[in-house]
């Protein structure tokens, strides 16, 4: 076996987005497309002598091919060792846990997260650094720059290794260890939660329905919930990872997890429902006949964290992405801890977590996590909720209603307009940006505007600045409309419009969110002319 140097032609479209490089499988399958990106990454990283790399993905179509290619390139880069999940499988939070536990220098996650999979679906690749979290923009931008200029790739001509059998292998002098995808992660969960209390909850007849959406969360949820915590067999549904997710869209929101919602609103509904996404870093929690908004979920976890062993000492602070509702801010204020507002994307939480400034963080997009890893973590959030229900004796709904009673309800919704031609989306955003200076102090569609800007973030730890992170328009009563373009899509542009209104009046807490937010929808249209520019009368998805 030898290391080969092969000529390649650079690509111009390999800029990582909100969470790594995501493209259609057909794009990744082009000659040397994956290799080009991996080589760019390896060129940017320092020498790998003596270092360990973690490698795994969500099992979607192309995962196995990519794993073998990356192993052969890692050998050429000179890594001492690669830890790869059995069958090429590792959830995103498990990659993060394994990097941290094994003191690896970093890891490669193969996933397009919640995007559909299969030969016509999406594939993705992302690099995580030694803290277990997504590489910061400084690295992703350097990789992009390199990907546009490199001329050759270096790869072993080895045939690869047997991915399905646990154990150690040698690949052109590099050690490859095929690891159990679940064990390190499960061990970490045992240190955080009161497993005995959760066991008692299930033993007492508490019913959970966990929909793994035919994605990578299945093996983790089965091992922990059914295996260790005594939930009855059948608690985890769609629990076997499939290359095309069985045709499901593995994005846990009430629209895509339609079947779970139907079960949770049926006459004999379980006590709690949950779902995770393609790579198991997202979570949706549902009460009996009660949908929990992800922003509220973060706030509830923060409010009750000290009931959970891993967080019994209290929280250093919390962080939320800018478009996420201010429910967590209100809880943080009551707890006397700081709340940080970051741009969208988990990579912005890494420094705050590393510096010990925050313990919990979350995003409106069904992402919640803590300092236990440096990714959001779907099953962790579900275990947290189970622990809270067990420790408090209260239902999911009761815990959320308590939050509303204490802090008012942050009525919230996100409206997505998908597959907009890029030029239309760009001109819509340009129009909004141009209108910003005149907005503060004015009234539009009957709404009094206090502040309007293009969100810029200065990282409180390293001082790095990220500009143009979303247009926010804040009204005098604190209501907000936020506009940004998705950085994870693979077809045209997706406009996300985030709407938030605070409702302090308890007698109005049951108001239907879309109804309550109607004035903000009208404001969004008046400001952005979505219908006029895109011709779309309605959002593609409302969550
Ligand atoms: C979306 C979510 C964002 C999340 C990311 C990765 O990014 O909005 O909160 O961090 O997926 O899961 P977007 O497509 O909006 O750029
Ligand atoms: Zn994901």
**pLDDT tens digits for range 117-140:** 999 999 999 999 999 999 998 999
Nearest-5° angle of CA 289, CA 276, CA 118? 125
Closest-CA residue, ligand 1 atom 2, reads 365
Closest-CA residue, ligand 1 atom 8, reads 365
Please tell me the distance from the alpha carbon of residue 349 to that of residue 344, in angstroms, as a whole number: 10
pTM of the model: 0.96
- 253 and 211 within one domain: yes
Report how far ligand 1's centroid is from the alpha carbon of 488 (Å). 6
Report how far ligand 1's centroid is from the alpha carbon of 366 (Å). 9
- 461 and 330 within one domain: no
Closest-CA residue, ligand 1 atom 10, reads 345
List the structure tokens of 516: 């309550």
Q: For the domain that residue 437 is a member of, what is the CATH number?
A: 3.30.310.50
List the structure tokens of 13: 């479209």
| Atom number, ligand 1, closest to the C-alpha of residue 282 | 12
- 385 and 432 within one domain: no
List the structure tokens of 55: 């490698």
Please state the three-class secondary structure of 35-99 as a single string: HHHHHHHHHHCCCCCCCEEEEEECCCCCHHHHHHHHHHHHHHHCCCEEEEEEEEECCHHHHHHHH
- 14 and 163 within one domain: yes
| Atom number, ligand 1, closest to the C-alpha of residue 364 | 9
Nearest to 238 by CA among 265, 267, 258, 268: 258
User: In whole numbers, what is the pLDDT of the chain averaged over residues?
Assistant: 97
- 212 and 96 within one domain: no
| Atom number, ligand 1, closest to the C-alpha of residue 488 | 14
- 129 and 227 within one domain: no
Nearest to 526 by CA among 418, 417, 446, 424: 446
Please tell me the distance from the alpha carbon of residue 140 to that of residue 212, in angstroms, as a whole number: 30
Residue 369 phi/psi, 5-degree rounding, is -165, -175
User: What's the whole-number mean pLDDT along residues 167-171?
Assistant: 97
Which pLDDT score, from 0 to 100, does residue 489 have? 79
Report how far ligand 2's centroid is from the alpha carbon of 112 (Å). 7
Please tell me the distance from the alpha carbon of residue 110 to that of residue 67, in angstroms, as a whole number: 8
Which pLDDT score, from 0 to 100, does residue 454 have? 97
Q: How confident is the model at residue 488 (pLDDT cuts 50, 70, 90)?
A: confident
Ligand approaching nearest to the C-alpha of 112:
2
Final residue of a domain: which of 384, 407, 430? 407
Class of residue 353 by CB neighbours under 10 A (exposed 0-12, middle 13-18, buried 19+):
buried
List the structure tokens of 131: 């803290």
User: What's the whole-number mean pLDDT along residues 405-412?
Assistant: 98
Closest-CA residue, ligand 1 atom 15, reads 486
| Domain coverage including residue 395 | 185-407
Please tell me the distance from the alpha carbon of residue 1 to that of residue 446, in angstroms, as a whole number: 71
Which pLDDT score, from 0 to 100, does residue 18 have? 82
- 481 and 334 within one domain: no
DSSP calls for 198-221: HHHHHHTT--EEEE-TTSTHHHHH
Asked whether the predicted pLDDT for residue 1 surpasses 80, the reply is no
> Residues near ligand 1 with C-beta < 6 Å?
18-19, 113, 321, 344-346, 363, 365, 367, 486-488, 496
Q: Say whether 113 is catalytic.
A: yes
Which of 363, 414, 496 gets mutated to test ligand 1 (max ligand atoms within 8 A of its CB)? 363
Residue 425 is classified by DSSP as H
Q: Are 140 and 146 in contact (CB under 8 A)?
A: no
Report how far ligand 2's centroid is from the alpha carbon of 81 (Å). 26
Q: pLDDT, tens digit, for every residue of 10-23?
A: 999 999 988 899 99
Final residue of a domain: which of 352, 372, 407? 407
Q: pLDDT, tens digit, for every residue of 29-53?
A: 999 999 999 999 999 999 999 999 9
Which of 113, 276, 295, 321 is catalytic? The answer is 113
Q: pLDDT, tens digit, for every residue of 262-305?
A: 999 999 999 999 999 999 999 999 999 999 999 999 999 999 99
Which pLDDT score, from 0 to 100, does residue 487 have? 86
The H or E element that residue 442 is part of is none
- 241 and 221 within one domain: yes
Please state the three-class secondary structure of 108-161 as a single string: EEECCCCCCCCCCCEEEEEEEECCCCECCHHHHHHHHHHHCCCCEEEEECCCCC
Ligand approaching nearest to the C-alpha of 495:
1
Which pLDDT score, from 0 to 100, does residue 41 have? 98
- 447 and 335 within one domain: no
Q: For the domain that residue 234 is a member of, what is the CATH number?
A: 3.40.120.10
Final residue of a domain: which of 181, 203, 222? 181
- 378 and 271 within one domain: yes
Ligand approaching nearest to the C-alpha of 17:
1
- Looking at the chain, the whole-number percentage of residues with pLDDT higher than 90 is 97
Report how far ligand 1's centroid is from the alpha carbon of 317 (Å). 22
Nearest to 21 by CA among 171, 129, 123: 123
- 174 and 82 within one domain: yes
Number of domains in the chain: 3
Which pLDDT score, from 0 to 100, does residue 491 have? 82
User: What's the whole-number mean pLDDT along residues 340-368?
Assistant: 97
- 331 and 241 within one domain: yes
Residues 6+ apart with CB under 8 A from 155: 3, 4, 6, 35, 69, 72, 73, 76
């Amino acid at each position: 076996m030898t290391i080969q140097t092969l000529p390649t032609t650079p690509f111009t479209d390999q800029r990582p987005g909100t969470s790594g490089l995501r493209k259609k499988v057909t794009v990744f399958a082009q000659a040397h497309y994956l290799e080009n990106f991996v080589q760019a990454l390896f060129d940017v990283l320092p020498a790998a002598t003596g270092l360990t790399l973690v490698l795994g993905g969500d099992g979607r179509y192309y995962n196995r091919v990519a794993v073998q290619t990356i192993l052969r390139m890692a050998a050429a880069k000179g890594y001492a060792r690669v830890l790869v999940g059995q069958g090429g499988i590792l959830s995103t939070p498990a990659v993060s846990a394994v990097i941290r536990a094994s003191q690896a220098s970093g890891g490669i996650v193969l996933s397009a997260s919640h995007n559909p999979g299969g030969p016509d679906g999406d594939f993705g690749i992302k690099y995580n650094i030694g803290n277990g979290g997504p590489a910061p923009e400084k690295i992703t931008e350097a990789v992009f720059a390199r990907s546009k200029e490199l001329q050759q790739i270096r790869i072993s001509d080895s045939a690869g290794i047997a991915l399905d059998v646990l154990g150690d292998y040698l690949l052109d002098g590099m050690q490859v260890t095929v690891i159990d995808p679940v064990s390190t992660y499960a061990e970490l969960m045992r240190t955080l939660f009161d497993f005995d209390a959760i066991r008692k909850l299930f033993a007492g007849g508490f019913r959970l329905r966990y929909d793994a959406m035919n994605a990578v969360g299945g093996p983790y949820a089965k091992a922990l919930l059914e295996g260790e915590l005594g939930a009855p067999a059948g608690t985890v549904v769609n629990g076997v990872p499939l290359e095309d997710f069985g045709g499901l869209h593995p994005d846990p929101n009430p629209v895509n997890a339609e079947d779970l919602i139907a079960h949770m609103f049926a006459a004999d509904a379980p006590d709690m429902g949950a779902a995770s996404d393609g790579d198991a870093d997202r979570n949706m929690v549902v009460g009996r006949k009660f949908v929990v908004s992800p922003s509220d979920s973060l706030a509830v976890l923060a409010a009750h964290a000290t009931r959970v062993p891993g967080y019994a000492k209290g929280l250093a602070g919390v962080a939320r992405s800018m478009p996420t509702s201010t429910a967590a801010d209100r809880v943080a204020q009551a707890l006397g801890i700081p709340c940080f507002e970051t741009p969208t994307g988990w990579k912005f939480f890494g420094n705050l977590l590393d510096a010990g400034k925050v313990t919990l963080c979350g995003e409106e997009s069904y992402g919640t996590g803590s300092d236990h890893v440096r990714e959001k973590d779907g099953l962790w959030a579900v275990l947290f909720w189970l622990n809270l229900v067990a420790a408090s004796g209260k239902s999911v709904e009761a815990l959320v209603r308590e939050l509303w009673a204490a802090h008012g309800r942050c009525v919230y919704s996100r409206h997505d307009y998908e597959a907009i031609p890029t030029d239309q989306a760009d001109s819509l955003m340009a129009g909004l940006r141009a209108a910003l200076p005149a907005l503060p102090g004015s009234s539009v569609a009957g709404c009094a505007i206090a502040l309007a800007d293009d969100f810029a973030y200065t990282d409180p730890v390293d001082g790095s600045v990220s500009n143009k992170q979303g247009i926010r328009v804040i009204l005098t009563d604190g209501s907000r409309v936020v506009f940004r373009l998705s950085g994870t899509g693979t077809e045209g542009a997706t406009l996300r419009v985030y709407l938030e209104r605070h409702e302090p009046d308890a007698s109005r807490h049951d108001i239907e969110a879309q109804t309550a937010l109607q004035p903000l929808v009208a404001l969004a249209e008046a400001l952005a002319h979505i219908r006029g520019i895109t011709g779309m009368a309605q959002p593609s998805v409302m969550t």
